Amino acid sequence: MQIRIVIAASLLGASLITAPAGASEAIPTTLPTSAIPAPVAAAPADQAATIAALTRENALLQEKLKAMESCSISSTDLAARNSKKLKEITADVRAQRQSMAEFESYVKWMSGHVASYSKYIQASSVAARFVRFFPIPYAGQASLFTKFVSDSAVSLGAASVSINKYLGTSQQFLSRADALDPNKPTYNQDVSDLVRFADQDLLKGMSEVQDRLTTTSQLSASSLSFLESVNHYVGSGDEALTKAKSFLKSDEKAEKSFLAESTTSLRNKAQVFNGKLQLFDATVKKTAPQIKALVAYDDLARSLDPKFAKK
């Protein structure tokens, strides 16, 4: 019995002595679960999400590339586009040409009308020798009005030249535009050359006619003002006019009738002219930016196909 107790005590003591040595191995079993590192098995899930995101991004890039490829444009495409726009411009140019004949007719009529002022200038000049004030614009300043008539003749002559020149330029543009053929091997070059012609010749001539006709309109307004003033004072009892009328070499009734008819005629013709001039101005304002846009597209076509730039 004592032997058993001794053996048991020995075994118990041995176990107490060895317990500290094994304590470090027993600690992990008693740690809280929150301190345990995440399992390695979670990594494949993150990798799958990354691959999925890259796949979606790649699909979007492929769609953008396809869209860019479908929007690609060539010099031939640009030539076709410019050719279409050139033919649209021809409609406005034809409308302008229809008005040119009427503008030319009015300019010629104005030239003769202004020339008829000579006798009134002469009368005003002579009357100015006898009186210090003549109640008609420019009276007593006949030399200035003579200069006005002279300048008017030059301006009207320049307007006539510009109209005839533009008729030739616009006809050349229309003929070349009508001759454009996409089946010709020189089609792209023909379109490019016509765009340059429209910018350098057609538009320049168009703008010049616009300026000359605007000046003609201003001359008409000045002439109308003069006639209305003369018509207002003819027949009055003013002493200066009495002296001036003696140099007109025509009876007063006939002169007054002539002045009234001339004033009415000029007023009516000027109204019609100004109305057509407004329509012409509208086509110029519309056509000018269109031609400039054609030049921009032609520059792009030449950059895509450098052989056009050789010319």
Q: Could you read off the pLDDT of 53-106 as tens digits, one per residue?
A: 778 877 787 777 665 555 567 888 889 999 999 999 999 999 999 999 999 999
Up-side HSE of residue 295: CA atoms within 13 Å toward CB? 12
Whether the CB-CB separation of 245 and 255 falls below 8 Å is answered with yes
CB-count burial class (<10 Å; 0-12, 13-18, 19+) for 86? buried
DSSP states of 162-176: HHHHHHHHHHHHHHH
Backbone CA torsion sign across 191, 195, 196, 197: positive
| pTM for the model | 0.66
Backbone CA torsion sign across 242, 246, 252, 254: negative
Rounded Cα gap, residues 103 and 278, in angstroms:
12
Rounded Cα gap, residues 251 and 204, in angstroms:
50
Kindly state the tokens that stand for 67. 């869209």
Whether the CB-CB separation of 142 and 121 falls below 8 Å is answered with yes
Count of residues in the chain: 311
What is the domain partition of the chain in residue ranges? 75-306
pLDDT above 70 (res 193): yes
Kindly state the tokens that stand for 263. 């004033």
- By 3-state DSSP, what share of the chain in percent is helix, strand and coil, each rounded to 5? 85, 0, 15
Query: Distance between alpha carbon 98 and the CA centroid of its chain, in Å?
Result: 24
| pLDDT of 245 | 54
DSSP states of 56-71: HHHHHHHHHHHHHHHT
Tens digit of each residue's pLDDT (9 = 90 or more) over 257-298: 666 777 888 889 999 999 999 999 999 999 999 999 999 999
Tens digit of each residue's pLDDT (9 = 90 or more) over 9-43: 444 444 444 444 444 444 444 445 444 454 544 45
CB atoms within 10 A of CB 248: 16
The per-residue pLDDT of the chain, averaged, comes to 75
CB atoms within 10 A of CB 75: 20
Whether the CB-CB separation of 85 and 289 falls below 8 Å is answered with no
Determine the residue type at 286: K
